[in-house]
Structure 1
Amino acid sequence: MSLTRTSKRLVSLDVLRGITVCGMILVNNAGACGYAYAPLKHAKWDGFTPADLVFPAFMFIMGVSIYLSLNKSNFDWRISIARILRRTALIFVSGVALKWILAFIATGEYNTLENLRIMGVLQRLGICYGIVALLAVTVRHRLFPTIIAVLLIGYYLLQLFGNGFEKCAGNIVSMVDYAVLGKSHMYLGGAQFVDPEGILSTIPAIAQVMIGFLCGKVIVGEKEIRSQIVKLAVWGTSMFVIGYLWSYAAPLNKRLWSPSFVLVTCGITSLIFATLIYI
């Protein structure tokens, strides 16, 4: 007797994750000495290039995965909370440890803690995962759109009234990073004024993961493939248009993780996701 095992993997999400990883490899190895192709280089400040889509796409995918994972336990906090806290700590500590190892390789010195960068890509992933996952098991999901709006609009107001769009030490995002992290623990020793994975800019990044979470809810809640594609396409187009229009007041900026940047990148990723589901 032969047994047939049915895979429960969401193939379209796996493909999207694979495309994002390929993008990350290309961007991280784009070339040196000024010979890198322009699309593989990040915007220096305001602006947007294909390279700027890689990290936010990871955040979006993580949000989808959070819903798919926690849905298996019916979002029971008693089952999930210990695992969430453990995974959050593991991702964050792994990020800090990796920075220390890279600093040791670069300098050959063990005692580099006084200049060790605290935040980073893995650290942001860990923080955002932990906060969104905890919200998922403690807060009604119908409140997520409201929370997303509060996070994005609140961050925009902080930037608007705190000189938050300027590349200078008086930028409120920069001031908080300097005060909390300290210049020596920031990206490139604070040479770029703001840490691209800093404190305040983590606020809209949380909203990014929450948007991915809601898209994961669409995948599970809508049984018809056509309905999944239509909803993701409509949401993606709406976010892209709103984000693009918002960029006239809040410029697209990956280093600041501006609210317009969140909506534009979520819109693009959602449209790619819908296309992969269709395929």
Structure 2
Amino acid sequence: MTIQQQRSQAIDVLRGLTVALMIMVNMPGSPATTYAPFLHADWHGLTLTDLVFPTFMFVVGTALSFTLEKYQGMGEAAVLKKICTRTALIFLCGFLMYWFPFVGVDGGSVSMLPLSGTRVFGVLQRIALGYCAAALLLHYSGAKGAVVFALLALFGYWALLAGFGDYTLAGNAQRKLDLLVLGEAHMYHGEGVAFDPEGILSTLPSIVNVLAGYFAGRLVRRLGASYESIARLMMAGAVLALLALAWSSVFPLNKKLWTSSYTLITIAIDLGVLALLLYVIDLRGQRGWTYFFEVFGRNTLFIYLLSELVATLFFLFRIGGLSVFDWVYLNLFRPWAGTYNGTLLWAAVYMLGCWLVGYLLDRRKIYIKL
């Protein structure tokens, strides 16, 4: 069965939309000044923000549906080198992002920040591992092997969490494994205790999001932007949504644990959004608005990394005792837009600043691939 060579504009727009949302949800301030959809669920539950990262994993998979075909004419050594090099580069960028700015100032003296307190896992690291696992699975075991892995990963992860802990912040098996392997100093502390939402064990079900993106991308390439492809995407999404909601009664929807029910519901939503974009963009031909998101989709990982590094500097440097981030919000946005709208507008303006960088790169045909 032949695979079409043209890229779907809907897939590119989905990628760009995901990056735009990811930048925005990473910028808002405290829960007291942020609209609920732009915050993660406290623990169990689902918000708009909880959909962003798994969609990022999903679009990594859609990209694989194009790149894996290019590997077929390469020797095994070249394929392994390509996959492992890209994995290492993305993982290293994520690690260095958490170590950034590399130096600290204490009492007027400058010293290197110790690696002993640097977080090991995170967003880019999970993207790297998800890409690597999915690429190797699909290259060496094909679609059937990937489906078998997905089933084993989802049910195996459920068994591990149920058998070696509970579904609480303090008692889950993921935290126990990370404490054992990584140590408390190398974990995320934003939950009040050492707990990493991008830890070792929950990487397992996140790979399924990448595989789902691959199969969706392959379907669109094979059938094109047609009513048949839209119908299949929507039917698959509906089935997965029903399974996720049923499963959530015993294995709750939880982004921070990346539960199996959460994996399925996020894939279901991504399939529905992709189907909608195919209909609006490719079938109805409504493309006047798409370039904005295509800019984000053309330098995806670079723009995300840039947004995180600049945000770190905004929180690091201070004006009148306030971080630059807080000073801008308190002096330029909150006085006229209000508490919640000011936070939202500041995040939107920051996202637009990142878009401008992407636009300038696109105008010059510069595409930075990690």
Decide: shared fold, TM above 0.5.
yes
The answer (yes or no) to whether the contact 2:102–2:113 under 8 Å persists in 1 is: no
The answer (yes or no) to whether the contact 1:158–1:164 under 8 Å persists in 2 is: no
Aligned residue number for residue 268 of structure 2: 267
How far is the alpha carbon of 1:244 from its aligned partner?
1.3
1:68 is aligned to 2:70 = no
Q: 1:34 aligns with which of 32, 35, 38?
A: 32
The answer (yes or no) to whether the contact 2:63–2:214 under 8 Å persists in 1 is: yes
How many aligned residue pairs are there?
272
| Mapped partners of 2:119, 2:126: distance in 1 | 13
Over the residues paired in the alignment, what is the CA RMSD in angstroms? 2.1
Q: Can you list the C-alpha shifts for 1:193-238, whole angstroms capped at 9, x where unaligned?
A: 4210001010101111111111122122224612211111111111
Distance 1:177 1:92, change over 3 A: same
Distance 1:38 1:102, change over 3 A: farther
Aligned residue number for residue 152 of structure 2: 150
| Mapped partners of 2:31, 2:141: distance in 1 | 49
Distance 1:111 1:102, change over 3 A: closer
The answer (yes or no) to whether the contact 1:63–1:213 under 8 Å persists in 2 is: yes
| Mapped partners of 2:132, 2:91: distance in 1 | 10
Aligned residue number for residue 90 of structure 2: 91
Q: 2:7 aligns with which of 6, 9, 14?
A: 9
| Mapped partners of 2:45, 2:68: distance in 1 | 36
- Which piece of structure 1 moves more, 181-190 or 80-89? 181-190
- Which piece of structure 1 moves more, 29-38 or 56-65? 29-38
- Other structure's SS at 2:83 match: helix
The answer (yes or no) to whether the contact 2:6–2:221 under 8 Å persists in 1 is: no
Aligned residue number for residue 117 of structure 1: 119
Aligned residue number for residue 18 of structure 1: 16
* Aligned partner letter, 2:87: T
What fraction of aligned residue pairs are identical, expressed as a percent? 36
- Which piece of structure 1 moves more, 224-233 or 50-59? 224-233
- Other structure's SS at 1:21 match: helix
Distance 1:239 1:189, change over 3 A: closer
Give me the TM-score of the superposition, normalised by structure 2. Answer: 0.69
How far is the alpha carbon of 1:179 from its aligned partner?
0.5
The answer (yes or no) to whether the contact 2:44–2:254 under 8 Å persists in 1 is: yes
* Aligned partner letter, 2:249: Y
- Other structure's SS at 1:139 match: helix
1:136 is aligned to 2:138 = yes
- Other structure's SS at 2:157 match: helix
Which structure would you say has the larger Rg?
Answer: 2
Distance 1:218 1:262, change over 3 A: same
Unaligned runs of 5+ in 1: 1-6
Aligned residue number for residue 49 of structure 2: 51
Unaligned runs of 5+ in 2: 281-370
| Mapped partners of 1:104, 1:14: distance in 2 | 37
How far is the alpha carbon of 1:142 from its aligned partner?
2.1
